[in-house]
A and B are shown apart, each in its own frame.
Chain A
C-alpha cells in the first residue's frame, strides 16, 4: 500500500476533528476549578428530589418503524455490490435483474403503506405511571 499525501491529509483531518471536540474537555479538566459537595451528583429535576423511574416505556407503534428500517437497510446493503458491478456489466439483463429486486422492495413498501405505518395514529396510549 502506498502512503500518499492524501492519506496523511485524511489522518490529519481525523486528528483535528477529535482535537476540536475533545480539546475543550481536556482544557476544562486542567483549567477549571472543581465544585464538590452537596447535591452536585444528584440527577437534575428542576431543583426537586428526583422521583419516579428514569426509564420510560415506548409506545408499541415504534416497533413498526424499527422493522421497516431493518428491512430496507439490508436491502440497501445488497444494492452496494450491484452499484459496484453495474458499470462493467453488459446488455439489458442486469437492468432487468435490478428492477426485479427493486420490485420486490416496492411490494414490501406497498404492504407497509396499506398497513398504515406512514400515518401517525391519532391516539398513542402510553402506560399510565
Chain B
C-alpha cells in the first residue's frame, strides 16, 4: 500500500430529509424496510451463513433483501459477517462512510459483536467488536448464528424502521 491508513471510527453526519413530514416518512420508511439491499461484507465463517440465507432454503428474497450489492453506493444495509482484523478495519470504516443515507449496520456473529473467540488479553490483530468503529443497529449473536438468526435480525431492523414486526413469531420463539 502506498499510503497507510490511520484507523479511526467512522465519522458520518446525517442530515434529515428536506420534506420531513411524519406520514410521508412513515410510508417511505415502510418501503425502505421491505426492500433493504444488503452489502455483501462476509469476512469469515459467518459469511457462509449469510450465503445460506440468500439461497433457496432460507430465502431472504421473501423479505425483500435479495439484492446483495457488492458496492456500498447501492446498498443500505451493511451486514458485517465475520472477524474484522486490524488490517481490514480501515476498509470497513471507509465502506461505511461511502454508503449513502439511510444506512444501517447489522453485526452478525460473535466476532463482529465483541471479537468473539478472539477477545482475550493481549489481542494484537483483531478488532474486538465492530461497534468500536461504526454504529451498529442490530446485533445477531452466535458462532455462527443460524440463517434464521439473520432473518430475525432483519425483522428486528424492520421493526426499528417501521415500529412493528410484520412477520409471524416462530412457535416457541416469543420473548416473554
| Chain A residues proximal to chain B, CB less than 8 Å | 29-40, 42, 44, 46-49, 51
* Complex: A42 Cα to B90 Cα, angstroms: 13
- Contact of A36 with B15 in the complex, beta carbons under 8 Å: yes
* Complex: A29 Cα to B132 Cα, angstroms: 31
- Contact of B97 with A44 in the complex, beta carbons under 8 Å: no
- Contact of A47 with B13 in the complex, beta carbons under 8 Å: no
A-B contact pairs, 20 of them (CB 8 A): A30-B19, A31-B18, A33-B101, A34-B101, A35-B14, A35-B15, A35-B99, A36-B14, A37-B13, A38-B11, A38-B97, A39-B97, A40-B12, A40-B97, A40-B100, A42-B98, A44-B72, A47-B90, A48-B94, A49-B5
Q: Binding site of A, secondary structure by majority: helix, strand, loop or mixed?
A: loop
Q: Which of A34, A37, A47, A51 contacts B95, CB < 8 Å?
A: A47
Smallest CB gap from A52: residue in B: B2
Contact residues, B21-35 vs A (CB, 8 A): 24-25, 28
Residues on A with C-beta less than 8 A from B98 are 39-40, 42, 44
- Contact of B15 with A33 in the complex, beta carbons under 8 Å: yes
- Contact of A46 with B13 in the complex, beta carbons under 8 Å: no
Interface centre among A30, A34, A37 (most CB of B within 10 A): A34
* Complex: A42 Cα to B19 Cα, angstroms: 28
